[in-house]
Amino acid sequence: MSRDGSERGGTDDWEEEVAEWDEEVSEWEEGDGATADGDDHVDDDPDLDPDSADRVPKVVSAGHINWDVTIHVEQLPEPDGETRIDLLEQSGGGSAANVAVGLVGLGGQSVVYGSVGGDESGALALRELASAGVDPGQVLVDADAPTSVKYAIVDGSGELLMLANDGANESFTAAELDRDTLAAADHLHLTGQQPGTAAALATAAAEAGTTRSFDPGRRLGDREFEAALHATDLLFLNAPEADALADSTDIDPWEPDDRVVAIKLGEEGATIRTPRGDVSHPGFDIDAVDTVGAGDAFAAGFLGAALRDPDITGDGFSNDPRDYQVPLLVGNACGAIATETVTARADLSWDRVRSMMGESPESDLLIEVRV
């Protein structure tokens, strides 16, 4: 389909459509796109000052805040076996925290909401968030529980084994979040947490007129998230999660009828499904080092681009798949950056996004839109 909805008549129409898309990407890369308020242009330097609240989206990211220990080995050991550690890194982690940091790196404002323990790991996690420019003022400190520590063991092929304790990362409830903070936000992004908490936060955001997204994560099949899922405008899932959701609920992520669904396809990129069609991109050809946190980076990139565009979020999330071409490219670029990063906390910036896109100059031609 062409941008005006008519069918393409031949090669000339296709070349004209590609030229239009090239012009859109060029304008976006030069910082000439409108911000969420529609009044100003994005600064030529995409790493905007966090104090410029009137020029950038403000997002509350709610869910897990962890301390991560990432261990790289050549090969995972057999039972009773032993292997040598090639690299060990410690950093902040947790999906809510990762997305919050990624959004700040892309010029947004982030408030993270979750809980940590009253221990050294919790203090380190909060200090790292603050250093990254994220507002951790809403984080609950549970003095009676340890901070959740996740051990990610990654082998030479990028495959991983996760070890974790729940600790304090689900001590928070919806009641502790300041409602003025939620009302002042442009968007609420939910990640894995107690189903009742997710549903209550999504409901409160809806009442405040704030758009909502949800990335339930790998425990989707084990938890009763249906109320939270129905209360959100945008879902982030991987392909197995999308299949599981279609099998177990009345929501079909592959053919949604009342929401937008971003489905991450790993090495094959991602597809954005809407009630009016879909848009897909095969991703970027990179050598994966560590896939931990790639989904969080994708969400940060997608939201960081989409929330700036009033055509996408001016009245809830648009159902036109053509509107999601730039957010999809940015999300895939951020996911690729994360897979080249040793830890789950990728250092995202518009410069790095542009650099990743530059490694795949044909990326605009590979966009597939089905309306």
What would the pLDDT profile of 174-186 be if each residue is shown by its tens digit? Answer: 888 888 888 889 8
Asked if residue 150 has pLDDT above 90, the reply is no
Please report, as a single letter, which amino acid is at residue 352: R
Lowest-confidence range among 91-95, 118-122, 220-224? 220-224
Cβ atoms of residues 141 and 118 within 8 Å: yes
Asked if residue 32 has pLDDT above 50, the reply is no
Name the pLDDT band for 364 (thresholds 50, 70, 90). Answer: low
Provide the pLDDT for residue 40.
Answer: 34
**What's the rounded mean pLDDT across residues 344-365?**
73
Cβ atoms of residues 215 and 236 within 8 Å: yes
Report the DSSP beta bridge partners of residue 160: 154
Name the pLDDT band for 236 (thresholds 50, 70, 90). Answer: very high
Asked if residue 44 has pLDDT above 70, the reply is no
Question: Using CA atoms in the order 113, 235, 94, 298, what is the torsion angle rounded to 10 degrees?
Answer: -120
Lowest-confidence range among 136-140, 229-233, 295-299, 339-343? 339-343
pTM beyond 0.75: yes
Coil, strand or helix: which one is 306? Answer: helix
Provide the pLDDT for residue 53.
Answer: 33
- Pick the catalytic residue from 296, 309, 320, 323: 296
**Cβ atoms within 10 Å of 120's Cβ, excluding its own:** 11
Report the relative pairing of strands 109-113 and 260-264 from DSSP bridges: unpaired
Cβ atoms of residues 171 and 142 within 8 Å: yes
**What's the rounded mean pLDDT across residues 331-343?**
84
Provide the pLDDT for residue 297.
Answer: 92
Q: How far apart are CA 220 and CA 29, in angstroms?
A: 36
Asked if residue 127 has pLDDT above 60, the reply is yes
Tell me phi and psi for residue 54, to 5 degrees.
-80, 0
pLDDT in tens, 200-211: 999 989 888 889
**What's the rounded mean pLDDT across residues 116-137?**
89
Asked if residue 9 has pLDDT above 60, the reply is no
Tell me phi and psi for residue 264, to 5 degrees.
-85, 130
Please report, as a single letter, which amino acid is at residue 369: V
Question: Looking at the chain, how many residues does it have?
Answer: 371
Please report, as a single letter, which amino acid is at residue 145: A
Among the listed residues 311, 331, 330, 332, the one whose alpha carbon sits nearest the alpha carbon of residue 321: 311
347 catalytic, yes or no?
Answer: no
Across the chain, where does the E strand assignment appear? 58-62, 66-73, 85-93, 109-113, 115-117, 140-142, 149-154, 160-164, 187-191, 211-215, 234-238, 260-264, 270-274, 277-281, 368-370
pLDDT in tens, 272-316: 999 998 888 888 877 776 677 788 999 999 999 899 888 888 778
End-to-end CA gap in the chain:
7
DSSP assignment, residue 5?
S
- For residue 113, is it left (φ>0), alpha (ψ between -120 and 50) or beta? beta
**What's the rounded mean pLDDT across residues 44-68?**
63
Asked if residue 10 has pLDDT above 50, the reply is no
Provide the pLDDT for residue 8.
Answer: 37
Provide the pLDDT for residue 214.
Answer: 92
- For residue 53, is it left (φ>0), alpha (ψ between -120 and 50) or beta? alpha
Provide the pLDDT for residue 291.
Answer: 72
pLDDT above 70 as % of the chain: 80
Please report, as a single letter, which amino acid is at residue 180: D
**What's the rounded mean pLDDT across residues 202-223?**
85
Cβ atoms of residues 262 and 237 within 8 Å: yes
Q: How far apart are CA 2 and CA 11, in angstroms?
A: 12
